[in-house]
């Protein structure tokens, strides 16, 4: 008895640390079931594992949709949802959801780690009907026999490419059940994933807090002469030390000319005195990711030109924040930022003409090359409707101005502006009355950044 209790504690501990409970995944399945028509079947599959080279696989991460519905982190798992139920002889009744997982296998587990197995999935994840994955096709066939629609995710594939596993399954199902229509479950899942539950918000808060701790450490420790990958290593060390299981996306640490490459990946460039560095990254926690960008001057103080550009981006971000509230159109924060960026660039003489002319021609877009908002969640560019903002939605607010050598040349700018890339990105939660800034613990204003950079850091040498 005691041993069983201890075992249960060990098994439950990781889930509790991540603050998400089986009831959340159960609720997600129940909601999807409510959206499915009576005679439809939804089949969702775990991500495949991809070979990297030789005997080495890429790090495995579960499909976000599959995780959202099941909480299962393992490969080779499947879920069948059927609103009218599937008869399960072993249980003596019909059930609306069946999970399939890899069988327990002591030899495989010795190499790859402990598997849930059907019993583990029942006990830890709150499923009633769980079978080993060799039973999947038998149950899928039973479910499809009475169905008119099959909801299944597929990836785009060219006509002459070999069929992947999902397309092959659909082909075989359509041959046997020609009246079954194939539909995409994402049109139901994406609006669901847009609005976060309390448990999801707790995980995102944690991921964002960890990311901000990393930014603070780098502000304290960064020094001219370091290479970009040294800052990357500091950040990723802090993330891991604080419980982040992986990165939400590859870290962007771009110095000097690289500050103007939007999705540059940290490289081995030496960071020279006087340069700015765009640092854009996100720790993942409990499968949910942050996305926070700070731009810092390696010497600890912005030059006059860097400060002028930085302040425009900062003001553009402030203007965007003011637009965030339930009911606001998705584009409103971006449009507010675009206006402030246009006004700022006109004031510096970088753009010419009137504000309205420049907004109409979108001249600012040569400097501010991307949208300033996206959802965050299980994916860094999370899914959603792009409709009016609603409480429980998390979005980034990330205006930027990038003056590469080519852009400076085209606009005849002084060389003091060359290689100034500035992006400031924060994560906000839409609340019933407005918004909450979740990444405020990483300094954002020029004064705050310069003050923190004057402190000594734990990675300084």
- Catalytic residue numbers read 55, 263, 280, 291, 370, 374, 381, 398, 402, 423, 425
How many Å apart are CA 262 and CA 74, to the nearest integer?
A: 33
How many Å apart are CA 419 and CA 44, to the nearest integer?
A: 46
Member of 200, 236, 291, 332 binding ligand GLY (CB under 6 A)? 291
Q: Which does 28 bind (CB under 5 to 8 A by kind): Mn ion, ligand GLY, none?
A: none
**Positive/negative CA dihedral, 63, 69, 71, 74:** negative
**In 58-159, beta strands by DSSP E:** 78-88, 93-101, 130-132, 149-152
- The 3-state DSSP class for residue 424 equals coil
Task: Give the count of residues interacting with ligand GLY (CB under 6 A).
Answer: 3
We find the least distance from the C-beta atom of residue 31 to Mn ion, in angstroms, to be: 27
**Tokens 């420049």 — which residue?**
358
We find the least distance from the C-beta atom of residue 254 to ligand GLY, in angstroms, to be: 11
Member of 97, 280, 284, 343 binding ligand GLY (CB under 6 A)? 280
Residue closer to ligand GLY by CB (options 101, 395) is 395
How many Å apart are CA 148 and CA 146, to the nearest integer?
A: 7
Q: Which one of 130-138, 270-278, 344-352, 388-396 is the stretch in contact with Mn ion (CB under 5 A)?
A: 388-396
Q: Which DSSP helix (H) or strand (E) runs through 399?
A: none
Residue closer to Mn ion by CB (options 140, 401) is 401
Give the x/- contact pattern for ligand GLY in 367-406, rule: CB under 6 A. Answer: -------x--------------------------------
We find the least distance from the C-beta atom of residue 425 to ligand GLY, in angstroms, to be: 7
Q: Which one of 70-78, 186-194, 287-295, 303-311 is the stretch in contact with Mn ion (CB under 5 A)?
A: 287-295
Member of 291, 332, 343, 382 binding Mn ion (CB under 5 A)? 291
- The 3-state DSSP class for residue 332 equals helix
We find the least distance from the C-beta atom of residue 291 to ligand GLY, in angstroms, to be: 5
Q: What is the residue-wise DSSP string for 151-210?
A: EE------TTSPP-HHHHHHHHHHHHSTTPEEE-THHHHHHHHHSPPHHHHHHHHHHHHH
Which residue in the shown chain puts its C-beta closest to Mn ion?
A: 291
How many Å apart are CA 64 and CA 384, to the nearest integer?
A: 13
Residue closer to ligand GLY by CB (options 193, 374) is 374
Binding site for ligand GLY (CB under 6 A): 280, 291, 374
């Amino acid at each position: 008895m005691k041993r069983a209790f201890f075992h249960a504690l060990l098994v439950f501990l990781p889930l509790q640390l991540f603050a998400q409970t089986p009831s959340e995944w159960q609720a997600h399945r129940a909601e999807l079931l409510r959206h499915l028509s009576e005679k439809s079947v939804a089949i969702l599959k775990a991500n495949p594992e991809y070979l990297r080279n030789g005997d080495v696989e890429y790090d495995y991460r579960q499909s976000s949709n599959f995780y959202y519905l099941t909480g299962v982190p393992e490969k080779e798992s499947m879920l069948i949802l059927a609103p009218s139920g599937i008869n399960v002889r072993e249980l003596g009744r019909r059930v609306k959801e069946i999970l399939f997982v890899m069988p327990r296998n002591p030899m495989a587990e010795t190499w790859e780690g402990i598997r849930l197995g059907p019993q583990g999935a029942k006990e830890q994840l709150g499923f009633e009907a769980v079978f080993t994955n060799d039973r999947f096709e038998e149950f899928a066939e039973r479910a499809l026999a009475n169905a008119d629609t099959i909801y299944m995710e597929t990836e785009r594939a060219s006509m002459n490419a070999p069929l992947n596993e999902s397309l092959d399954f659909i082909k075989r199902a359509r041959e046997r059940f020609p009246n079954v229509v194939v539909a995409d479950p994402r049109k139901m899942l994406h609006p669901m994933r847009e609005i976060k539950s309390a448990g999801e918000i707790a995980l995102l808060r944690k991921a964002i807090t960890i990311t901000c701790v990393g930014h603070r450490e780098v502000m304290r420790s960064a020094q001219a002469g370091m290479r970009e990958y040294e800052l990357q290593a500091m950040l990723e060390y802090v993330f891991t030390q604080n419980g982040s299981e992986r990165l939400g996306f590859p870290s962007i640490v771009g110095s000097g000319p690289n500050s103007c490459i939007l999705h540059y990946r940290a490289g081995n460039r030496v960071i020279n005195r006087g340069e700015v560095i765009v640092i854009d990254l996100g720790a993942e926690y409990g499968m949910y990711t942050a996305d926070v960008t700070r731009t810092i001057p390696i010497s600890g103080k912005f030059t006059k030109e860097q400060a002028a550009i930085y302040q425009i981006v900062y003001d553009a971000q402030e203007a965007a924040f003011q637009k965030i509230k339930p009911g606001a159109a998705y584009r409103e924060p971006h449009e507010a930022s675009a206006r402030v960026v246009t006004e700022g660039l006109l004031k510096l003489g970088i753009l010419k003409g009137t504000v309205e002319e420049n907004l109409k021609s979108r001249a600012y877009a040569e400097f501010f090359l991307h949208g300033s908002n996206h959802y965050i969640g299980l994916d860094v560019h999370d899914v959603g409707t792009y409709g009016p903002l609603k409480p429980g939605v998390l979005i980034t607010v990330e205006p930027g101005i990038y003056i590469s050598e080519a852009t400076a040349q085209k606009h005849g700018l002084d060389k003091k502006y060359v290689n100034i890339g500035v992006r400031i990105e924060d994560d906000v939660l839409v609340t019933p009355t407005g918004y909450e800034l979740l990444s405020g613990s990483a300094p954002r204003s020029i004064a705050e950044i310069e003050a923190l950079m004057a402190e000594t850091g734990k990675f300084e040498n």
